[in-house]
Amino acid sequence: MEDKGRNEIVRRQKTIEEKVYRQRRCHKSRLLSWKQRSLSKIQPSIQVWKDTRSVSLLYKILSSSKEHCTDIIKIPKRFSFYDSHNDCVSVFTQLAASLYHHSKEVCIDFSECEDISVSTMTLLYILIRDFRASLGKGKKKIKSTKLTVKPPSKTDDLRVMKYLKIFDFYDYKDFTDNDGEFLKLPVLSGKFRGSYVENRKATAAKQIVEFINQSYRPANKILSPKGRNLFEGLTNEMLNNAEDHSIKNETWYVSGVTFHDSNIEADLLELNLTILNFGDSFFEGFERTKRENAANYQKLEKLLEHHQKQFSLRKRFEKESLFTLYMLNEGISRLKYEDASRGNGTMPFLKAFSDLEDKGPQGKKYRSVLKIITGHTTLSCDSDVVPYGEDEKHLRISLNKEQDFLKLPEPQYLQYHSKYFPGSFIECKVFLNKNLVDQKNG
Amino acid sequence: MDKQTINLLKYRGQGSTAFTGRSEGRLARTDLKLDEKDADGVIYEVIIPKNTTSINSSFFLGLFYPSIKKLCSIEKFDEKYVFVIEEEDQEWKSILEKNLAECRRRAHNELNQTTGIDF
């Protein structure tokens, strides 16, 4: 009797164990087949897309295609969006296409390049870094594109050589910086984290201040409290702007280089700083919200009508470019309908920029300049056209020497280009005012 | 009248010495429940902690503009929210006071709904 009972228990246990075994076996094979099915549908390029957002973003927004793939990407003489906007857009269209379609080999040819900006080098660096980081990831082996750099043919072009070395594009084995000193800020990036604790912008601004102090170390100087406050103000506001206006909370990037060349006065440090975000241009963002933002939009249209009456054959501007200028003024924001206190983002950094530069005799010799590259428009601001109106209620920017926003801007400060850049660069070259620097104690 | 303290230290961000970011200002406002505090008849001392190196208007407006709007003027806002800068270094204190003055100027312009291109 007891044996029967015991056998029954054992039999039941065996049955249960078999069921569990069969279930697990089936479950595993179901999973595998689901995984196998999914992987078979994923093409290498989409896997790459997941890991190289910057490449794929640029590729899609620039409407790049396989036709733009090339073995040699020719860098223009002036590799700067401000000076050669269309040529630079072409360079990045070709690069995005070549990386996206895994061209066998791409040579980035700097042989004719004589001048470089920190923003184009930063963008180049980001794309190549992201692409290289994606290689080797994922189960399927992704083809590698062989990337080479052809250096400038004129070896006395030190500034170009320095930039290539700074961004690790070309290792000049016998290159020594005889001309002066340079220092690079590593490319920083961030996005809104949904928390005041993880405020990446403030940390990035602090790193930039440390970077400037490091640049002054050979002279045993550091930024004064006023200098630090101005600089943090400038970079924080620029980063706020980049974060607020990126598409779908995309990443912003910051990079910088300081130079202390022997042909610059001993007390001056040349700081080149750039902040980049992909997304709508200033104008596009504003156009998207024109219905919700009707009151603001009408003010811009009213000013546009006033300016259009002053157009001549020699002096005329596109709507996008003029709107970009108007939007820099206080109280104007595409997000005004969401938050009535919006419209104070860009003027603070323009004001901080003007406070940073040297207004003395050296300032005339070494001119600081702030550039905004957004969509089809490039805009620049130097000491002749900085914001004005400190004694009035509002600071204004007009980009003319008369400091009158009702008059047209000067054409050299506001330009429209046929090719489009999908995002915004804010780039500044500042010759730091020695009054903002203190001697270091100890 | 009752007096209470609001310390902004935790809203400065980890490892940061600056108050920046409109979104961060708004999050701080929610955390502090300022919507309730605006109407409660209490005077608040707003502490700007030591080692603060900048107060950006974006943060200030994200945090306080709804209060300024509710109270209808900067003057009434200043009576209700009294700023205290903990910094002892006079140079830094003066710089931060200028930052706050700039924040107030912007808030004032927004309250009046004026822009830099009005004509």
Residue A11's pLDDT band, with cuts at 50, 70 and 90, is confident
pLDDT in tens, A123-180: 999 888 887 777 655 544 456 778 899 988 876 667 888 899 888 888 777 666 665 6
Pick the residue with more confidence: A160 or A16? A160
Terminus-to-terminus CA distance in chain B, angstroms?
44
Residue of A236, A326, A342 with shortest CB distance to B117: A326
Q: Is residue A67 a contact partner of residue A107, using CB atoms and an 8 Å limit? A: no
Comparing C-alpha atoms, which of A258, A250, A240 is closest to residue A126?
A250
Q: What is the per-residue pLDDT for A196?
A: 61
Q: What are phi and psi of B73, to 5 degrees?
A: -160, 155
**Which residues between 71 and 90 in chain B have a beta carbon less than 8 angstroms from any beta carbon of chain A?**
89
Gyration radius of chain B over CA positions = 14
Spell B5-25 as b/e; 16+ CB within 10 A means b: ebebeebbbeebbbbbbbbbb
Q: What is the per-residue pLDDT for A184?
A: 84
Contact between B56 and A348 using a beta-carbon 8 Å cutoff? yes
**Which residues between 212 and 231 in chain A have a beta carbon less than 8 angstroms from any beta carbon of chain B?**
225-226, 228-229
Contact between B109 and A393 using a beta-carbon 8 Å cutoff? yes
- Tell me whether strands A270-278 and A252-261 are parallel, antiparallel or unpaired: antiparallel
**DSSP class of A441:** P
Q: CB-based contact (8 Å) between A294 and chain B? A: no
Comparing C-alpha atoms, which of B28, B106, B73 is closest to residue A344?
B106
Contact between A206 and B12 using a beta-carbon 8 Å cutoff? no
Contact residues, chain B, for A229 at CB < 8 Å: 53-54, 95, 99
CA–CA distance, A102 with A66 (Å, rounded to integer): 10
- A314's CB contacts (< 8 A; 6+ apart) are none
pTM for the model stands at 0.81
Length of chain A: 442
Q: What is the per-residue pLDDT for A424?
A: 86
Give me the mean pLDDT over the B7-30 stretch.
89
- Using DSSP's 3-state secondary structure scheme, residue A374 falls into strand
Q: CB-based contact (8 Å) between A409 and chain B? A: no
Contact between B119 and A198 using a beta-carbon 8 Å cutoff? no
The whole-angstrom distance between B2's CA and the closest CA on chain A is: 29
Q: What is the per-residue pLDDT for A248?
A: 58
- Using DSSP's 3-state secondary structure scheme, residue B81 falls into strand
**Which residues between 4 and 43 in chain B have a beta carbon less than 8 angstroms from any beta carbon of chain A?**
10-24, 27-28, 31
Q: Which of A206, A344, A347 to mutate to test the interface with B (most CBs of B within 10 A)?
A: A344
AA letter at A388: Y
Give the helix/strand (H/E) hosting A438.
Answer: strand A437-439
- The ipTM assigned to this model is 0.93
Cα–Cα separations (whole angstroms), residue A9 to A2, A12, A15, A223, B20: 11, 5, 10, 83, 70
Residue of B16, B108, B116 with shortest CB distance to A199: B16
- Tell me whether strands A252-261 and A180-190 are parallel, antiparallel or unpaired: antiparallel
